[in-house]
Amino acid sequence: MSKLTLDDLRKKIDQIDNQMLELLNERMDVVRKVGELKRSTNAIIYRPEREKAILDRLNRLNKGMLNTQAIEAIFLEIFAVSRNIELPERIAYLGPSGSFSHQAAESRFGAMSQYMAISSIKAIFETVNTGMARFGVVPIENNQEGMVPETADNLAKYDLHIVAEVPMAIHFAFASKTDHLHQIKRIYSKDIAFRQCRNFIENVVSNPEVELIPVDSTSKAARMAFSEPDSAAICSHIAAQDHHVPILFENIEDSGDNQTRFFILSKDFINQPSGNDKTSILVKLAHSDEPGSLANFLQEFDREKINMTKIESRPAKKGRTFKYWFFIDFEGHFYDEKVQRIVEKYKSEVKWLGSYVKLV
């Protein structure tokens, strides 16, 4: 048997690509029919629990060279294209374009979806609440900096549901049109990015005369670095690319474990139990000033053997006294019997924010 030439291998790849295209079009034809059924009942197109089940099944079947990350990257884009064939849906995110929230949105809804860059977290809640967008993507916490207060406060204010969580590794790039560090006079970025890249600024830039200028977003920082030749930006990779600013250094953040968790919000969508869920609630205890009131509430979770993964207090912001409500994450679905037993006891004091497929 003769050895295959490069031309032979390329022809083989072309044949496989042709087969893939035919199969993808066949899949999209089925998707179109699903969309017709969903439109007739005004059903939600985005089903994160269904997508997670497909990815889990494919990973179990996989016996080839693709790893889990590769399978997820390929099929998340297929899911996004499928959703746009079923019914295009508008997604609001914390802008501008190229922000980490934009990246989080695209990681779940794909490049083809209709996006709205919104200037504040509160405005995203309002956009989804009024129906201008079907979904909203907001940051809820960073594992280095903690909870995002504006998101937590608006979860208390608006009646929206969390339909999915999106964990995303946060990597910062150092971008500049200037070739040499000693020529840089100003660095633009968000204040939080300066804090998370302190070691790089002190040890690599290493110039106390360089001015650190906080701006509204890392995307704006990249835009400023493009327009000013003696400046630089600490920004996302995608922001540097969007604004055509060369990247001098990649992954300059202090911690390699820097992650932000985002929530996807909807007004009219509730996930059914998937068997691998997480639930978020807000708790405003009626007798919070009485000794043991919070401890008694938390003991209910211990008795029901429910694993609590997060609890954080927020000021109630009503009245002159120091009172608080609590943001709580736990494993399981709100509809689970053992969860409902707790809710029955504290019905007026618990606000259900959402149950969604557990990813972190």
Position 45 confidence tier, pLDDT thresholds 50, 70, 90:
low
Peptide bond into 96 cis (omega under 30): yes
Closest-CA residue to 266 (of 353, 332, 153, 331): 353
pLDDT tens-digit series, residues 59-86: 999 999 999 989 988 888 888 788 777 6
What pLDDT does residue 281 have? Answer: 96
Overall average pLDDT of the 141-158 stretch? 90
Question: In sequence order, what DSSP letters do the residues of 159-198 get, joined into one string?
Answer: --EEEEEEEEE---EEE-S-SSGGG--EEEE-HHHHHHTH
Position 339 confidence tier, pLDDT thresholds 50, 70, 90:
very high
Q: Between these two residues, 145 and 156, which has the higher pLDDT value?
A: 156
Specify whether 163 is located in the same domain as 194. Answer: no
Q: Between these two residues, 152 and 323, which has the higher pLDDT value?
A: 152
Closest-CA residue to 200 (of 173, 178, 219): 173
pLDDT tens-digit series, residues 160-176: 999 999 999 889 999 99
- Decide if 220 is inside a domain: yes
pLDDT tens-digit series, residues 207-240: 888 999 999 888 889 999 999 989 999 998 888 9
Specify whether 155 is located in the same domain as 205. Answer: no
Q: Residue 12 is part of which domain span? A: 6-169
- Decide if 23 is inside a domain: yes
Q: Is 82 left (phi over 0), alpha (psi -120 to 50) or beta?
A: alpha
Query: Does the pLDDT of residue 337 top 90, yes or no?
Result: yes
User: CA-based Rg of the chain, rounded to a whole angstrom?
Assistant: 24
Crossing angle for the helix pair 68-86 and 48-61, to the nearest 10 degrees: 140
- Decide if 183 is inside a domain: yes
| 281 DSSP β-pair partners | 328, 352
Question: Would you state the structure tokens that stand for residue 301, as one six-digit string?
Answer: 């979770």
Position 246 confidence tier, pLDDT thresholds 50, 70, 90:
very high
How far is 220 from 231, CA to CA, in rounded Å? 13
How far is 6 from 82, CA to CA, in rounded Å? 34
Query: Does the pLDDT of residue 40 top 60, yes or no?
Result: yes
Contact present, 342 and 281 (Cβ < 8 Å): no
Q: Between these two residues, 334 and 111, which has the higher pLDDT value?
A: 334
Specify whether 160 is located in the same domain as 65. Answer: yes
Among 111, 143, 169, residue at a domain's last position: 169
Closest-CA residue to 233 (of 223, 242, 241): 223
pLDDT tens-digit series, residues 118-133: 989 999 999 999 999 9
- Decide if 212 is inside a domain: yes
CATH number at residue 347: 3.30.70.260
| Type of residue found at 71 | I
Closest-CA residue to 103 (of 254, 237, 194, 265): 237
What pLDDT does residue 16 have? Answer: 94
Contact present, 285 and 275 (Cβ < 8 Å): no
Specify whether 155 is located in the same domain as 28. Answer: yes
Specify whether 138 is located in the same domain as 193. Answer: no
Specify whether 124 is located in the same domain as 30. Answer: yes
- Decide if 209 is inside a domain: yes
Contact present, 200 and 174 (Cβ < 8 Å): yes
pLDDT tens-digit series, residues 264-314: 999 988 888 888 999 999 999 876 667 788 899 999 999 999 999 999 988
Among 169, 196, 225, residue at a domain's last position: 169
Specify whether 342 is located in the same domain as 280. Answer: yes
Specify whether 199 is located in the same domain as 315. Answer: no
Q: If you search the block for the tokens 């003769």, which residue do you land on?
A: 2
Look up the pTM and report it: 0.75
- Decide if 260 is inside a domain: no
Q: Between these two residues, 179 and 197, which has the higher pLDDT value?
A: 197
Specify whether 280 is located in the same domain as 158. Answer: no
What pLDDT does residue 108 have? Answer: 84
| Type of residue found at 310 | K
Position 2 confidence tier, pLDDT thresholds 50, 70, 90:
low
Specify whether 220 is located in the same domain as 277. Answer: no
pLDDT tens-digit series, residues 172-186: 999 999 988 889 999
Closest-CA residue to 217 (of 137, 98, 114, 103): 98
Among 169, 185, 219, residue at a domain's last position: 169
How far is 120 from 166, CA to CA, in rounded Å? 19
Q: How many domains does the chain have?
A: 3
Specify whether 21 is located in the same domain as 51. Answer: yes
Specify whether 70 is located in the same domain as 132. Answer: yes
Q: How far is CA 267 from CA 12, 110, 125, 156, 225, in A?
A: 48, 21, 9, 14, 38
Query: Does the pLDDT of residue 48 top 80, yes or no?
Result: no
Position 319 confidence tier, pLDDT thresholds 50, 70, 90:
low
Residue ranges in 210-347 assigned as alpha helix (H): 218-227, 237-242, 293-303, 337-345
Helix (H) or strand (E) holding 233: strand 231-235
- Decide if 207 is inside a domain: yes
How far is 267 from 121, CA to CA, in rounded Å? 15
Instruction: Find the length of the chain.
Output: 360
CATH number at residue 222: 3.40.190.10
Q: How far is CA 101 from CA 108, 244, 254, in A?
A: 11, 20, 20
- Decide if 112 is inside a domain: yes
